[in-house]
Structure 1
């Protein structure tokens, strides 16, 4: 490529040198977590010759390469021996006039006006003007080897006075884009498609963070589409949707091969349409008649199905209730205390091996676990006096188990009610639909459904089911909050999601989280994400949480406050060519695909 191809000096307009290098500390006294956060960031300041075209170009995302003479242990062959270039990302610019440094409000008004006139008339004319260019290290350096750029990790610090160059368009492509990868957006400032390894992006889990209106569900829907395309029929995505946004965002996929489950009554067209959110930007592109025809097709084709979550707290017998009852006999040393202790251990083994949550009603257990529990209770009954209270209680449980067979068939794909466990089995089956949406507008229902689904999914994965399954958790703060409690089921759902994030990639089970409240997320879960998209987050504390969790330079993250809808800061440890390099992108609009499909089926 040569140095002329490696750099872009804008026709000789861009000349700059490093003035100094510093470390900044950003601190917030507390936020959603009630604890302070302190983040340190390194920052270089370049002094560039003032030029209006250069100034305008530096307002766009760009990279600079700062020359660095290497010591003997760092010297590489090719190009200028002993010379490399440290790659920095521009985070901000400030045009400066020398007389600005001497001006302050203590000067008389007349003198200040003279200063200001001199300063304004001097831009682009006077040699006393320059541009301060603030830039953050990417952690990489580039050397030329055989005429091509070679990027390697580096923690070297540049030397004051070193020349700096703008990285060219082609060098940026070589720096960031994966050969043969899937395009996920256009790199802002370069008009280059950013290509990534989509398999790694999903395999190692991803997060989508942004304020209301930034397009989180739009981008997440796009990731769902690209993941399913990459899997080529060997995968299913299950979306847990609290806000009712994904049925419309994935309307074409839902109508042609997806299923929508919900504990809500959505058996008619009006109920279905009232439950779902139509983005304002789609209102002018899709007519009410088209929406009714789409919803009617879903209902008529049996793609909208009820989801049975059990009667929480309404008298049903769960594994947890059964264990608590048995512990009462054991702790009070009542008749049958020994048998109760033995049965407790049997139930724990059944729950552990089956990946079962304790809030699962016993009649909704998978057939295998239900059979094991029935056998354990029957054996315990054989050693009890039939007049004892424990005998009476266990007999009642056994009658529920034996009478719940029809209802529990759904767990194993039979004709009974659909449960989170049955949805998990459906998702890993060979004939699984590519898309399953679980619409649960009540957060408590969402936690029950997700924790039971994930527990059963991991159990099935550990027992040989190989089909890929992607899990999308929209409004992730409802599932994995920073503060968890057992009574509102946030503890159960948080533990289940943590297990998915820690173990999932070993078993071809993946996760995408979307939220606007990063400060309220479980830290353990947050740190399992290897790729993330960040848009505008107004709260300073939220931005610091992201910077701390992902070792991201805060000065780069601060630029997200300037992003428009559909623009994102994308960072990945696994899916991009280089590790953990922030890049600003404009993603495609998922709604264009939806609108085009509606036009096609209506013509």
Structure 2
């Protein structure tokens, strides 16, 4: 090794006691290599599963070809390998095993034990080796003088040549190669062994579909919560997430997003899912707010570490109820559709005379001002909403047109009132729910220019399956017919084996029918959804029980603790990696994941061991640090509304009636 090379090698490879950590390549068998390292306790601890090595490959050998040098003399190429297994071997012990009668156990073994303490600073022992197995990745490091480049691997490593252990800085560049400069990335976690950030491209994650596979207790829901909070807070695109929540876990685990993000919705599919007070509240009996909040809090899953915060979680649920986040799914016309009709009326029927102080453009733009006042226009419209709009129309007009122009608008306001009254007379309410949403509202949620989070709940698996199929098919057909590709929509299925089982067992007709329906929708979404900005996410305990046609379309896997070999084999076959590359997941704890992707990570088709933050810690921080501020704002707005309603400042008289008046305008956002 030249002095020049030695300097760049110190940049690329790990060293201890001023010595590069190096072994020798013994064998190459397909994509797997065997390497021997001189034993030392330091190196034994550094050569962990998932660690990266660099083995010089045949591109480094420079020979004259047709009287020309094909490569620069000082150019070196190192294939990047990843450790899948290791074992320390003591050859004296191997010999003893062959001649057991010739040894004294206590005497001989006590002498040998000291050798395991060998340090890298001491002379190499001929009897001790570290045997390492590693997979060849698709990447190499090209070294030219003092410069290096990470690129696609082109040649096989050379047996008998040195193999080096990459240092942390280079590993970070390797695992994030190709995506680190993209705007559509976020740090998904820390590398389990190198303590460097691992980034993921969320566009590829969503549009090319992903799966989360691990046994119970491995932290699947925590991972989902962390991923979705990243998307809500950090993605630059207006991503829409729809979660089919079988176990009612995500109201708690995404409570910070539900409270802080403007466009959030918890959609209930049938009345039987809620208790009597929650149902009563959604039907307009707003004096039941406290009891409804308690009822819902008692029904949701709260992780053990958050149980002490149950009272705070109830306050958050109360806030979400007041904000209009909880809605019953009922087919009906949305407030948005009413505003569209109102806008068309203004455009086509209100005329402005010559010399008028108010322009046609000013009048037709009034509907946008109303939309801002109403805010959540996805809700199904009722006569209560129409009365509220009619009552506030003049006040809104005075605010919008201003004192100088409002005097010229009397005729226009009368025409607007007439339109609203006629609409109300002809209008048939779809249900007795004040807080409800239909297909038009769902469409608006996932089609506007705001990030949206939707959690769908049902106490009937068949109902949830039918609804998922209905929603996916509706959005897919609408986008396909118009060539729409944005904003992105992610449909996420928790307990995916309930939706896309590998086979449909003999069961009751309705269950078989609902499974068949949602499987067809998910297969279509997996195959063709990305063309129209629609992605699929799955989480399941048993990958082997799920539909292979859907699994084959997932381009990113998060693999946690998987005890069954059959589940691990599906993953190794999908990515063409060795069993050793994934077997370490058996020993994973909560928050530990192997990340595999063909598109969303920097280094493709290569297992990346990551540790993700505990989502429960994020929720604790939200409750302890942020919720108090949000609650103060909420109380301030309540107080201001009480004063406004009472007029004569008798603030707390007839409390229930005032709560009703308070919630309808400001927190139902109607």
Interval of TM-score (by shorter of Structure 1 and Structure 2):
0.7 to 0.9
Query: CA separation in 2, counterparts of 1:597 and 1:556?
Result: 37
1:46-65 matched pairs, under 5 angstroms? 46-59=35-48, 61-65=50-54
1:178-189 matched pairs, under 5 angstroms? 178-180=179-181, 181-189=185-193
Tell me whether 1:481 sits opposite 2:507 in the alignment. Answer: no
Q: 1:199 touches 1:230 (CA, 8 Å); kept in 2?
A: no
Q: 2:212 touches 2:558 (CA, 8 Å); kept in 1?
A: yes
- Deviations along 1:106-154, one digit per CA (max 9) or x if unpaired, are 7239544454334323224543111111212223222124644323333
Comparing 300-309 with 67-76, which one deviates more in the overlay? Answer: 67-76
Does the C-alpha gap of structure 1 residues 163 and 261 become closer, same or farther in structure 2, counting only changes over 3 Å? Answer: same
Distance apart, 1:535 and its partner CA = 0.8
Tell me whether 1:80 sits opposite 2:74 in the alignment. Answer: yes
Gaps of 5+ in 2: 1-6, 119-124, 279-291, 333-426, 630-670
The aligned residue for residue 12 of structure 1 is: 19
The aligned residue for residue 329 of structure 1 is: none
The aligned residue for residue 237 of structure 1 is: 241
Q: 1:426 touches 1:432 (CA, 8 Å); kept in 2?
A: no
Distance apart, 1:445 and its partner CA = 2.2
Of 472, 475, 478, which residue of structure 2 is paired with 1:457? 475
Gaps of 5+ in 1: 24-41, 311-404
Query: CA separation in 1, counterparts of 2:40 and 2:575?
Result: 36
Distance apart, 1:239 and its partner CA = 0.7
Does the C-alpha gap of structure 1 residues 283 and 417 become closer, same or farther in structure 2, counting only changes over 3 Å? Answer: closer
The aligned residue for residue 166 of structure 1 is: 165
Distance apart, 1:65 and its partner CA = 0.8
Distance apart, 1:302 and its partner CA = 2.5
The aligned residue for residue 367 of structure 1 is: none
The aligned residue for residue 116 of structure 1 is: 109
Query: CA separation in 2, counterparts of 1:47 and 1:408?
Result: 74
Tell me whether 1:499 sits opposite 2:524 in the alignment. Answer: yes
The aligned residue for residue 148 of structure 2 is: 149
Q: 2:595 touches 2:610 (CA, 8 Å); kept in 1?
A: yes
Distance apart, 1:430 and its partner CA = 1.9
Tell me whether 1:201 sits opposite 2:205 in the alignment. Answer: yes
Query: CA separation in 1, counterparts of 2:87 and 2:57?
Result: 24
Q: 1:209 touches 1:514 (CA, 8 Å); kept in 2?
A: yes
Greater Rg over alpha carbons, structure = 2
1:193-592 matched pairs, under 5 angstroms? 193-232=197-236, 234-256=238-260, 257=262, 258-262=264-268, 263=270, 264-265=273-274, 267=278, 268-284=292-308, 286=309, 288-308=310-330, 418-419=437-438, 421-422=439-440, 424-430=442-448, 434-464=452-482, 466-484=486-504, 487-488=510-511, 489-592=514-617
TM-score by length of 1: 0.74
The aligned residue for residue 190 of structure 1 is: 194
The aligned residue for residue 32 of structure 2 is: 43
SS of 1:104's equivalent in the other structure is helix
SS of 1:471's equivalent in the other structure is strand
Distance apart, 1:192 and its partner CA = 0.9
Q: 1:87 touches 1:140 (CA, 8 Å); kept in 2?
A: yes
Distance apart, 1:406 and its partner CA = 5.4
Query: CA separation in 1, counterparts of 2:621 and 2:207?
Result: 30
Comparing 584-593 with 480-489, which one deviates more in the overlay? Answer: 480-489
The aligned residue for residue 602 of structure 1 is: 628
Does the C-alpha gap of structure 1 residues 292 and 45 become closer, same or farther in structure 2, counting only changes over 3 Å? Answer: same
Query: CA separation in 1, counterparts of 2:241 and 2:500?
Result: 19
Does the C-alpha gap of structure 1 residues 76 and 63 become closer, same or farther in structure 2, counting only changes over 3 Å? Answer: farther
Distance apart, 1:259 and its partner CA = 1.2
Instruction: Choose between structure 1 and 2: higher helix proportion.
Output: 2
Query: CA separation in 2, counterparts of 1:155 and 1:100?
Result: 40
State the Cα RMSD in Å.
3.0
Tell me whether 1:21 sits opposite 2:46 in the alignment. Answer: no
Q: 2:327 touches 2:435 (CA, 8 Å); kept in 1?
A: no
Q: How many residues align?
A: 484
Comparing 146-155 with 127-136, which one deviates more in the overlay? Answer: 146-155
